[in-house]
Amino acid sequence: MKRSFAHMVPPVAELQALTTGAVYTTVPTGRVRILPDAAGGQVDAQAFSDDALAGLRASIEADGILTPLWVREGPGGTLHLIAGERRLRAAQAAALPDVPVRHFGQIDDRRARQLALLENAQRTNPSLIEQTLAGFALMRDLTGLDQAGLLRHLNALRKGREEDTHGLNDWLRSTFGTGVSVWSLQRAKILNFTPDELQAVQSGQLDLKAAYELARAATPQVRAQVLAEAVAGRWTAAQVRAALTPINSAPIQEAATTLQRQLRRAHQLTGNDAERARVLMEELSRLLEG
């Protein structure tokens, strides 16, 4: 039976209307201010270092800013930055007198946060991880669901068990080119990456598919160990899988051998214990059958 989320007001259409109505213009660089709590959805903590900005500054000095900043109205003729902090800082360092902007008018902090996440996910050549983390953060903000609730909702939508009251499938397709199925089955795996795995993929030291395989590790210790070996050896997904298989299977084989010996005494159980054993064995049987 489909469960409705009609008591929630989906702001997806309102957000799309805001982006459609934004005005493109050029403003003096000095008018744009960065608020202390501005959230642009950056994943890399080093994104604003001098070294990280050097290449962008050189590009801006040569060609100007190709992708407009996103701004909103501030007090006294100022403009508050919504998204594009790296571009703005590089423009300031390059002493660029004017910058192109996409002006969203007077909007509140919540809408500004949503737009910042959206811009980060849509900007030119974002990494898949940046796009995914920004996309999930934006969906949480738009729906009011926490991470677990959002994942349950996406899976229920994929299976046709709930109504798409928030319009997420159409919005995901129009924004990212992929729908609920991809986000619930593939993109959701990125949410389970450890910080070290995220950094390794972001820096190009680990292939994304290899990182997916690490989630199969039996313990966090094994996962960290294989990650270090995979980064050092530039392993493919197949190599990570091959390294994990014997490590993961050893504890299972040992437990299966122990259980096989103990099951010889199962007939000695009575009453509630016998019934509980029967239920557990049926569950194990279903698990093994897939």
Report pTM.
0.64
Beta bridge partners of 26: 100
Cβ within 8 Å of residue 128, ≥6 positions away: 190, 208
Beta bridge partners of 28: 98
Asked if residue 111 lies in contact with residue 18, where contact means CB atoms within 8 angstroms, the answer is: yes
- pLDDT truncated to tens, each residue of the chain (290 aa)? 344 333 333 456 677 777 778 899 999 999 999 887 654 444 455 566 666 678 788 888 888 888 899 999 988 888 999 988 889 999 998 899 999 999 999 988 888 888 888 887 766 555 788 889 888 998 998 888 999 999 999 999 999 999 998 889 988 888 888 999 999 999 999 999 999 999 899 888 999 999 999 988 888 888 999 999 999 999 999 999 988 886 554 455 556 667 777 878 888 888 888 888 888 888 877 777 65
CA 52 to each of CA 48, 55, 247, 265, 287: distance values in angstroms, whole numbers, following the listed order: 6, 7, 39, 65, 49
Cβ within 8 Å of residue 181, ≥6 positions away: 158
| CA 25/CA 103 separation, integer angstroms | 7
Asked if residue 227 lies in contact with residue 198, where contact means CB atoms within 8 angstroms, the answer is: no
